[in-house]
């Protein structure tokens, strides 16, 4: 028998063996699989249902939502909750502020964090341990709200767009993850580039940046979600500047207004009387406007996250472990 025939016979026999081995499943295997699938299904339902219910309530008529029972599908479908949010130009303006803030803060934070992480990951940098210690201490020691506000005022950032950017250029947690990721890279890349005459910035741009893409994506997601969700800094530093209000702050104002209007209507009389009078409380309710606000604030992040998920997971796995 030729070698080719022997190889074909061997492959066929191995294939049959593999198929038979996979076909032999015991009762314990089936029970284990059923338990796993039921557990995963339960986790999916618990995770997805609150978001789906919020989406349903956001397109359901406000007063009808107060009756309860709206679970999987809107009972009285309407876009009125979103129309209330976008009735004026305040929301589009705030949306532009949040988008620009998120993009600028993410880009600058990535640049500053990666540059700092690269500099403090070099063993030849004498003061790297001193600077790293100071940065780590800042994670645990916070001056507090009042000293922070006084610092922002002394820097002349109150009521200015730069207050959204400058205080957030570097975050220590992200710096530690990126530095750990860079420290895991082989020094041979950098040594070879230096032999070829590359300076430090060229090494950072041509060698380090392409190798730490998962770490960059991880930092980008952290920073973008934080910048998009932030509203308290607007409340502290820019509450008197309408053109600097972020989307989250404006939505928070809408929610407070809806709740106050609802409470005022309840004190004045019944909900039916408010509905007959055509007041704001008849048009929206706290539960409906809160659901619409949640959807407006969440959907942009849900659109971006799938594109960064694979980099995010690998960035956490590699950057979070130091051998």
pLDDT of 262-317, one tens digit each? 555 444 333 433 443 344 444 567 778 778 888 887 888 788 777 766 665 555 55
User: What is this structure's pTM?
Assistant: 0.71
Structure confidence at residue 321 (pLDDT):
46
Which two three-digit tokens encode residue 36? Answer: 């796993």
Residues 6+ apart with CB under 8 A from 298: 51
Within 59-207, residue ranges assigned H as helices are 62-66, 80-85, 90-121, 128-140, 145-154, 172-183, 187-195, 200-203
Structure confidence at residue 181 (pLDDT):
85
Q: Name the percent of the chain in helix, strand, coil, to the closest 5.
A: 80, 0, 20
CB contact at 8 A, 102 and 228: yes
Distance CA 84, CA 321 (A): 48
Structure confidence at residue 111 (pLDDT):
93
Within 269-285, residue ranges assigned H as helices are 271-277, 280-283
Structure confidence at residue 311 (pLDDT):
62
Structure confidence at residue 263 (pLDDT):
56
Distance CA 131, CA 194 (A): 25
Structure confidence at residue 253 (pLDDT):
81
Q: What are phi and psi of 60, to 5 degrees?
A: -110, 145
Q: Is 164 left (phi over 0), alpha (psi -120 to 50) or beta?
A: alpha
100, pLDDT greater than 80: yes
> What three-state secondary structure class fits 77?
strand
Q: What percent of the chain has pLDDT over 70?
A: 80
Per the model's pLDDT, the better-predicted residue between 323 and 170 turns out to be: 170
Q: What are phi and psi of 63, to 5 degrees?
A: -65, -30
Average pLDDT taken over every residue of the chain: 78
Residues 6+ apart with CB under 8 A from 22: none
Residues 6+ apart with CB under 8 A from 306: none
Local confidence band at 41 (pLDDT 50, 70, 90 cut-offs): very high
Distance CA 307, CA 50 (A): 23
Per the model's pLDDT, the better-predicted residue between 282 and 38 turns out to be: 38
Distance CA 217, CA 304 (A): 11
19, pLDDT greater than 60: no
């Amino acid at each position: 028998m030729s070698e080719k025939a022997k190889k074909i016979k061997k492959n066929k026999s191995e294939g049959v063996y593999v198929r038979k081995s996979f076909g032999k499943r015991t009762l314990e295997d089936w029970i284990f699989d059923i338990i796993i699938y039921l557990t995963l299904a339960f986790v999916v339902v618990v995770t997805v249902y609150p978001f789906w219910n919020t989406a349903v309530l956001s397109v359901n008529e406000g007063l009808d939502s107060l009756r309860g029972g709206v679970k999987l599908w809107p009972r009285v479908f309407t876009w009125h909750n979103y129309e209330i949010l976008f009735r004026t130009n305040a929301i589009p303006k705030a949306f532009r502020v949040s988008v620009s803030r998120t993009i600028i803060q993410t880009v600058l934070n990535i640049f500053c964090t990666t540059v700092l992480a690269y500099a403090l990951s070099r063993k030849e940098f004498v003061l790297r341990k001193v600077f790293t210690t100071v940065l780590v201490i800042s994670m645990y020691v916070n001056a507090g709200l009042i000293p922070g506000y006084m610092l922002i005022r002394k820097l002349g950032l109150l009521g200015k767009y730069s207050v959204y950017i400058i205080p957030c250029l570097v975050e220590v947690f992200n710096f530690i993850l990126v530095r750990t990721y860079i420290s895991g890279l082989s020094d041979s890349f950098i040594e070879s580039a230096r032999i070829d005459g590359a300076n430090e910035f060229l090494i950072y741009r041509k060698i380090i940046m392409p190798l730490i893409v998962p770490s960059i994506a991880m930092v980008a997601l952290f920073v973008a979600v934080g910048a998009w969700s932030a509203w308290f800094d607007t409340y502290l530093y820019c509450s008197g500047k309408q053109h600097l209000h972020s989307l989250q702050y404006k939505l928070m104002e809408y929610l407070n207004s809806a709740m106050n209007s609802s409470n005022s209507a309840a004190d004045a009389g019944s909900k039916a009387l408010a509905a007959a009078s055509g007041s704001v409380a008849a048009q929206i309710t706290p539960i409906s406007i809160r659901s619409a606000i949640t959807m407006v604030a969440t959907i942009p992040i849900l659109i971006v996250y799938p594109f960064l998920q694979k980099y995010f997971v690998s960035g956490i796995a590699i950057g979070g472990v130091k051998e």
